[in-house]
C-alpha cells in the first residue's frame, strides 16, 4: 500500500478556510489540498445571513463563494460534514470524526469562532436562537410566521442587523443591551447614540444598561424577565453576545493559544508547519503593534491569502488595514482602523442628513474612522490609513468636504 | 435566461446563463467563471468584482451610484471609463448577450 502524498490540509471551510486553499493554489502550490469542514454546505458568505438573506433578498445558492465543481477543478478536495477531531504533530496527521488519519505536509487552521452562549435559565427553550451559520438563520426564518415579538439580546452588530431586518419584516422588536451604549466594542459614542436614536425612530424598543435574568415559557419561549425585574413578551429570541475563538484543537495539540491561536505576521503558529487565519487567530496587528483578535471578512480574507502564499513558499507579511461594515435599515456603516482607546471624536458631514463620518484620535494619533452613508469618506480614510498617513485634526477639518484631495496629494507624493 | 459573455485577459471567453434578477458577479461565481473574487459578497465594500463593460453595452446599464464610484477608485487593475463593479449590475432580459472583460487582477 502506498501512502497518500502529504499536502496541505485546511481545517475549516468558511471565509478563511476556503480562501487559504484557493490562495495556496493561486500561488503555485501543487501538492494535494484538502479542506475539512464541519458544515454540510459548501463554503458560503456569512455576512448576508443577518442582512439580505434574512430579508429574503438572496437565496442560499447565492451565498456560496464558488460552486462545488470549482473546488474539483482546482484540485481541492472539499470534504463537507467532516470535522477534524485531533492533530498528531509528531506523526503529521489530522484525524477526522470518521476516524480517518489524513497526512499533512502543511496544516492550516481556519476553525473560526462560535457563539457565546447565554448562561441564564430558559436559554435552551425552543425559540431561542443564535446567528452564526446558515442552519441557524434558517431556524429563525422557519419560526417567523407565528412570531409577533422578537427579543434581541445584545446590541452589537449581529443583534442590530437582525433587529433591523426583523423590523423591516414587520415584527415588534425589543433589543436589550447590558452596556450603556450600542456596538461599544466597535464604534465611539457618537455613532452609538446615532444608531440608538435611529433604531428607536424605526420603532425598535431599545433598552440600554439592561440585562436579561431569564428566558421564560413552557414548551416554547414566551417571554423574558429583564435585569430590572420587568417581564416582557417574546415568541422568539436572538442572542448576540459575542463569539469565542475555536482554539481547542490547536490547544490540545500543544500550539500556543491565548484568547485565540497565536500567529505571526505570516500566519505561522508556534509550529512552523502549522498556520492559522481568520476569527480563530490572535496576532500583533501591523498597524497598532498591539495583539488583537479580529472578527471580520477583511481579516479572514487577507490573512488567508497571507497563509496561502506562505504555504506555497512565497511568504509576504500581513499588512492589511482593518475594515468592517454593517447594514442596518437604510444605513451603511463603514469602519476603518482600530479605534478603541480613542480620546477624541471629530465629526464631519451631517447627522441630520444621515450622512456623516466620525474620525477618532488618541492624543495626536489618528486611529481610524466610521462613516454612515458617506462612502467617499470611508474609501479616502481606508487609503490614508493603509498608507499610515499621520492625519491631523486640523487637516481633517480643512479637507472635510474633499478628503479625496488628500489621497490624490499623497499619491503624487 | 439572459446570457453573459465573459472575456478573459488571456483571450479566451466563456458564455454563461444568468437568472434575471441576479448580479453579473453572482452569475460568474455560480457558473465557476474565474477572475472575480467578490470577497464582500456584493456589499460594495471590496472592489474585487471589477469588470470592463463592452462599449456597446455601457449606456444600457444602470448608472454608477456614489458608493460604486468610490469603490471603483480602489480597484487592483486600473480603472477605465468602462469599469464597473459586477455586483452592482443586475441581469435583465434586456441585457441578454452582455459582454464583459475581466481584468488581469482583483487583489
Domain spans of chain B, in order of start: 3-101
pLDDT at position B21 = 87
Give the span between the Cα atoms of A358 and A6, in whole angstroms: 50
Strand partners, A94: A87, A102
Q: Which residues of chain A have pLDDT under 70?
A: 1-3, 413
ipTM: 0.84
Out of A61, A301, A404, the one facing B30 most closely (by C-beta) is: A61
How many CB atoms within 10 Å of residue B88? 21
Residues B25 and B86 sit within 8 Å (Cβ to Cβ): yes
Interchain pair A66, B40: CB under 8 A: no
**For residues A272 and A260, what is the distance between their CA atoms, to the nearest angstrom?**
17
* Chain A CA closest to residue B24: A62
Query: In this structure, how many other beta carbons lie within 10 angstroms of the beta carbon of residue A252?
Result: 12
Contact A102, A94 (CB under 8 A): yes
Is B66's CB within 8 Å of A325's CB?
Answer: no
Going by C-alpha positions, the residue among A227, A259, A54, A53 that lies closest to residue A153 is: A227
pLDDT the model gives residue A413:
65
- pTM as predicted: 0.94
- Determine the residue of chain B that is closest to A73 in CA distance: B32
Chain B neighbors of A372, CB-CB under 8 A: none
CA distance A359 to A367: 8
CB A286 within 8 A of CB A321: no
| Tens digit of each residue's pLDDT (9 = 90 or more) over B31-88 | 889 899 888 888 888 889 999 999 999 999 999 998 899 889 888 999 999 999 999 9
**C-alpha separations of A260 from A119, A249, A253, A351 in Å:** 22, 11, 14, 37
pLDDT of residue A219: 96
> What are the DSSP E strand ranges found in A247-317?
261-262, 274-276, 281-284, 291-292
A63 chain-B contacts, CB cut-off 8 A: 41
What homologous superfamily does CATH list for A7-114+244-311? FAD/NAD(P)-binding domain (3.50.50.60)
Residue B30 banded pLDDT, cuts 50, 70, 90:
confident
Backbone phi, then psi, for A192, in 5-degree steps?
-55, -50
Q: Which one of B36, B43, B44, B68 makes the best mutation probe of the A interface by having the most chain A beta carbons within 10 Å? A: B43
Q: Where are the domains of chain A?
A: 7-114+244-311, 117-241, 330-412
* Domains A7-114+244-311 and A117-241 are alike in CATH topology: yes
Where b means 16+ CB within 10 Å and e means fewer, A297-325 reads bbbbbbbbbbbbbbbbeeeeebebbbbbb
CATH number of B3-101: 3.10.20.30
Instruction: Judge: domain A117-241, CATH 3.60.70.12.
Output: no
| Fold classified for A330-412 | Enolase-like; domain 1 (3.30.390)
* pLDDT for A1: 40
Contact A261, A280 (CB under 8 A): yes
pLDDT computed for residue B39 by the predictor:
83
Measured CB to CB, residues of chain A less than 8 Å from chain B are: 19, 45, 47-48, 61-67, 69-70, 73, 297, 301, 305, 323, 325, 327, 332, 334, 375-376, 378-379, 382-383, 404
- Three cell numbers, residue A240: 448576540
| Cross-chain Cβ contact B74/A62 below 8 Å | no
pLDDT value at position A4? 73
pLDDT for position A2: 46
> Which grid coordinates belong to A305?
491569502
Q: Where are the alpha helices (DSSP H) in A181-220?
A: 189-201
- Structure confidence at residue A3 (pLDDT): 57
Amino acid at each position: 500500500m502506498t501512502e497518500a502524498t502529504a499536502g496541505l490540509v485546511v481545517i475549516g471551510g468558511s471565509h478563511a478556510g476556503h480562501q487559504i486553499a484557493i490562495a495556496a493554489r493561486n500561488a503555485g502550490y501543487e501538492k494535494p489540498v484538502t479542506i475539512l469542514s464541519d458544515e454540510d454546505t459548501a463554503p458560503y458568505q456569512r455576512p448576508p445571513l443577518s442582512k439580505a438573506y434574512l430579508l429574503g433578498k438572496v437565496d442560499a445558492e447565492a451565498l456560496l463563494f464558488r460552486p462545488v465543481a470549482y473546488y474539483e477543478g482546482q484540485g481541492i478536495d472539499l470534504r463537507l460534514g467532516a470535522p477534524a477531531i485531533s492533530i498528531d504533530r509528531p506523526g503529521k496527521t489530522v484525524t477526522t470524526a470518521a476516524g480517518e488519519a489524513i497526512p499533512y505536509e502543511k496544516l492550516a487552521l481556519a476553525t473560526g469562532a462560535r457563539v457565546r452562549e447565554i448562561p441564564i435559565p430558559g436559554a435552551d427553550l425552543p425559540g431561542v436562537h443564535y446567528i452564526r451559520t446558515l442552519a441557524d438563520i434558517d431556524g429563525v426564518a422557519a419560526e417567523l410566521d407565528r412570531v409577533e415579538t422578537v427579543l434581541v439580546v445584545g446590541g452589537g452588530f449581529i443583534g442590530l442587523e437582525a433587529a433591523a431586518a426583523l423590523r423591516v419584516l414587520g415584527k415588534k422588536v425589543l433589543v436589550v443591551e447590558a452596556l450603556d451604549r450600542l456596538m461599544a466594542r466597535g464604534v465611539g459614542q457618537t455613532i452609538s447614540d446615532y444608531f440608538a436614536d435611529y433604531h428607536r425612530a424605526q420603532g425598535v424598543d431599545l433598552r440600554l444598561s439592561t440585562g436579561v435574568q431569564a428566558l421564560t415559557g413552557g414548551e416554547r419561549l414566551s417571554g423574558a424577565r429583564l435585569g430590572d425585574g420587568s417581564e416582557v413578551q417574546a415568541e422568539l429570541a436572538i442572542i448576540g453576545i459575542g463569539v469565542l475563538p475555536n482554539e481547542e484543537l490547536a490547544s490540545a495539540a500543544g500550539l500556543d493559544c491565548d484568547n485565540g491561536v497565536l500567529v505571526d505576521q505570516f500566519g505561522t503558529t508556534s509550529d512552523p508547519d502549522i498556520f492559522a487565519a481568520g476569527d480563530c487567530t490572535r496576532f500583533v496587528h501591523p498597524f497598532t503593534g498591539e495583539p488583537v483578535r479580529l472578527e471580520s471578512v477583511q481579516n479572514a480574507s487577507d490573512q488567508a491569502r497571507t497563509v496561502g502564499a506562505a504555504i506555497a513558499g512565497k511568504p509576504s507579511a500581513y499588512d492589511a488595514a482593518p475594515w468592517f461594515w454593517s447594514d442596518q435599515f437604510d444605513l451603511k456603516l463603514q469602519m476603518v482602523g482600530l479605534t478603541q482607546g480613542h480620546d477624541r471624536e471629530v465629526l464631519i458631514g451631517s447627522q441630520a442628513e444621515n450622512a456623516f463620518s466620525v474620525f477618532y484620535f488618541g492624543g495626536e494619533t489618528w486611529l481610524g474612522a466610521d462613516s454612515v452613508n458617506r462612502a467617499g469618506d470611508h474609501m479616502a480614510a481606508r487609503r490614508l490609513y493603509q498608507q499610515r498617513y499621520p492625519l491631523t485634526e486640523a487637516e481633517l477639518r480643512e479637507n472635510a468636504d474633499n478628503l479625496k484631495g488628500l489621497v490624490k496629494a499623497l499619491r503624487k507624493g | 435566461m439572459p446570457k453573459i459573455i465573459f472575456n478573459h485577459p488571456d483571450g479566451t471567453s466563456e458564455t454563461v446563463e444568468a437568472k434575471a434578477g441576479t448580479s453579473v458577479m453572482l452569475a460568474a461565481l455560480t457558473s465557476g467563471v474565474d477572475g472575480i473574487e467578490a470577497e464582500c459578497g456584493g456589499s460594495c465594500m471590496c472592489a474585487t468584482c471589477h469588470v470592463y463593460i463592452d462599449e456597446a453595452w455601457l449606456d444600457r446599464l444602470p448608472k454608477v451610484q456614489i458608493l460604486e464610484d468610490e469603490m471603483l477608485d480602489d480597484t487592483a487593475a486600473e480603472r477605465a471609463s468602462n469599469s464597473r463593479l459586477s455586483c452592482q449590475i443586475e441581469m435583465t432580459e434586456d441585457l441578454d448577450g452582455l459582454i464583459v472583460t475581466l481584468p488581469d487582477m482583483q487583489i
